[in-house]
Structure formats: structure tokens, C-alpha cells
Structure 1
């Protein structure tokens, strides 16, 4: 794994994306930054991080996705790899808030943003951005956020985390073909608030009640509605209220 360490950057995803477009860089090349000025989350949300306290990384993954309908497979692999790494660090009560927010108890401790580029030869190249709150303690304006340090009351070595996460990603990608069903079940078992009635908001800002039933093979959230029908939602079509 090639590691590029930066002090400050607009976005590690943007930096790696530009680098990959200019040069034939190695698979699993990783870019980390101590500070990210224009960090991005799902649907254009901003990702704020105290300088030097958290893990900010992006990794290039190629030769795995070959069809646009399979892009959620990458999200699933990355989420499980982060969760497995955190379990080995004894972080308690871990779950995945669909599609790929990392939770401990009911607090968000990490997020994943995957940007895929379709090449002219049909290959799909993924830039996987991972943000993980490690040693940050101040979440004054982020009531739903926390960090490994706050939850466990101790400091963590954030420098080792990229190596641990990439090791898990490589392993799961290598085993995917024969273990995809197992990984999908594992992802479902880790879903935040699955199987319990909870409020949602739709595109029209209308609140409704539903029960998470699962996630489709292409990554849509499957929700049981009050009329006993099951609806599927894209990430931009639904907001979980908790």
C-alpha cells in the first residue's frame, strides 16, 4: 500500500481523483490529511474535523467493480472493513446507519463517501473517502456525533488505522466472489435501527413511520410502511429521523 500524507488539503477525495486521472497509480494508494478544508459527506454535506485529531483518508480501488449496478458492493465492503477494525479496538455497540455512516450507540463516529468513475474500457475506478472521529472531544455543534476517545475515554493511534482498514478491505475484496451472501447478511445484521418503528422524512419534507426491512442488492433502503407495503428508497429520497 502506497501512503501519501498531507498536512492540509481541500479534499483527499479530490486530490486522489486528480492524481489518478494523470498517472497510472497503484491500486490501494492511500491519501491522508491532518486537516481537510472542504471535506464532503453524502449528498454534499460538509464533514468538519479538528486538525490532527481524526482519520481523514481516501483510497483508490480498481479492478473490483465492473458494472454500475454493483457499486453498492464497494460501500458494503468498506463499511464492514471499518466496523471490523473498530471491533478489534473494542469500540462498543457498533452499527451501520444506511448506507454507510458508522455508529457507536446512537452517535455517528464515522462516514464514508465513495465516488466512482466509469473508464472508457468499462472499468469502474472508486475513490473511497473515510472520515473517522478518533481523538476529537469537542462536538458542541454536532449533537449526534462522537469519537472513539469520547466513547472509550482514552486516546487512540490514528496513524495505524489506514493500514488496519486497508488490510480488511483487501481481504474482503479477495473473498467477495465466494462470500458475498455472507457479507450482505453481516451488513444487514449491523443495520442501525433495523426492525423497529421509526420516523422518516421524504423528498417533500413529509414525515412518515416505517420499519427498516433490509437493503436491496443495488443499495436501496427497504422500508415497511404503515399500509404493510414495502417501499425502496435511494439515499436522496429519504432521511432517517432519530
Structure 2
């Protein structure tokens, strides 16, 4: 396991993308930063992290024949990998909130950002950025529904050991992609998905509130919701959110 440790960097994802080729990074190279000055979440959102308290890192994963149309399986694999480690080590109910946030009960404890390098119809490699709230206990009041592992457990967490556990878990779950066991990955993902098959209130991009339940994830990674009239609608990221948690 090749781990590159940095004190501060704008973004660990950007660092890998800028240096992977010229430095010949091997697959599963990890870049870890104590502080990210421009940490990013999905669709350009900002990831807040107190210096030295959390795990903010990225992993390079290389593929040989991973089709673009299959890319959401990587999101499934990585979110499952993080969730399984946390479930084994901490007393809380953990879920995956579509597409790949990790919740402890109803509060976000980890976020994942995946950026792919594409050649033709295939993904050549992926850079996976992970922000995991570990020992930070106070968060900005502007950010709702967020917690940390220390808040859950009331003890200081060994970040280095947790990092190794998570990376090993990611390697394990990425093997499902290498073996093309996509149906197994999806089954595990759906079984841990927050509010799966449970009626809930949603808000769409037009601020329309409606009742529905999550019944599936499309091949493209869209959220499939069954409405009260039993018809289904598909939603992309940022087109829908829970009305409340």
C-alpha cells in the first residue's frame, strides 16, 4: 500500500490527477492530507474539515475493461467499503444515502467524490476522494445533519489504522468490479440504502414536495422513486432531496 502523506494541499483528488502519470503511481496509491484548502464534494460543493482531525484522502484505481455505462458500480463499491468498516467498529446504525454519502443514524459522517479518466467507452482510471469525519466534534452551524466518529463513540480515533482499514476494504469491494459481479454489488448496496422502500417526503428541483419511496437505482445511477399513483420517476443528482431527515 503506497501512501503519500501531505500536510496541506488544495485537493488530494487534484494532486493525484496532476501527478499520477509523471510519477507512475500504481493502482491503489493513496494521497492523504491533514488539511485541504479546496476540498470538494459532489457537483462542486465544499467539504469542511478541521485540520488534523479527520481523514481527507484520495485513491487512484486503474481499470482495464470497465465500461462508462458501468461507472455507478464503483460508487456502490466504495460506499459499501466505507460503510462496512464503520459498522464493524462503531455503535451506530449506518446507511448509504444515495448516491454515496455515509450516514450515522441520520447524520452525515462521510462523503465520496469520484472523478474518472475516460478513453473511448472505457474508464481508464478513477480518482476517489473521501472525506471522513473522525475526531472533529464541532461543525459550522451552517452545515446541518453532520456528525463524526468521535461524537458517536466519545473516544479519540486512531486515524492511521482507520485509513488502512478503509483502503483495504475498498480493495476488497473493487474486486467485485474486476470479477464483474455487478448484481452482487447492487444487492449489497440496495440493502444498506437509506429509506429504501420506505415511504418518505421528497422535494424536487422545482421545490415541489411529494410522497414516494425509493424502489431502485437505474443502470446510469439515477434514483428511481415510486409515486403514490404507482408510477416511477428517475432523478439525477441534485434533482431531488429528502424533505426532512
> Compared with structure 1, are the counterparts of its residues 121 and 187 closer, same or farther at alpha carbon in structure 2 (3 Å cutoff)?
closer
CA root-mean-square deviation = 1.7
Query: 1:159 corresponds to which residue?
Result: 160
Would you say the 8 A contact 2:94–2:104 is kept in 1?
A: yes
Q: How far apart, CA to CA, are the structure 2 residues paired with 1:221 and 1:121?
A: 23
Would you say the 8 A contact 1:119–1:125 is kept in 2?
A: no
1:112-155 CA-to-partner distances (Å, cap 9, x unmatched) read 00001113694421000000000000024123000000011111
Gaps of 5+ in 2: none
TM-score by length of 1: 0.94
Query: 2:89 corresponds to which residue?
Result: 89
TM-score by length of 2: 0.92
Query: 1:20 corresponds to which residue?
Result: 20
Would you say the 8 A contact 1:91–1:152 is kept in 2?
A: yes
1:31-110 superposed matches below 5 A = 31-63=31-63, 66-110=66-110
Gaps of 5+ in 1: none
**Residue 8 in 1 paired to residue 8 in 2?**
yes
Query: 1:231 corresponds to which residue?
Result: 233
Greater shift in the superposed pair: 110-119 or 121-130: 121-130
Q: How many residue pairs were aligned? A: 242
Q: CA deviation at 1:160?
A: 1.6
Greater shift in the superposed pair: 192-201 or 55-64: 192-201
SS where residue 66 of structure 2 aligns?
Answer: coil
Greater shift in the superposed pair: 30-39 or 213-222: 213-222
Q: CA deviation at 1:225?
A: 1.1
1:52-78 CA-to-partner distances (Å, cap 9, x unmatched) read 000001000011662111110110110
Would you say the 8 A contact 2:224–2:235 is kept in 1?
A: yes
Query: 2:174 corresponds to which residue?
Result: 173
Query: 1:203 corresponds to which residue?
Result: 205
Query: 1:193 corresponds to which residue?
Result: 195
> Compared with structure 1, are the counterparts of its residues 80 and 64 closer, same or farther at alpha carbon in structure 2 (3 Å cutoff)?
farther
SS where residue 167 of structure 1 aligns?
Answer: helix
Q: CA deviation at 1:228?
A: 1.2
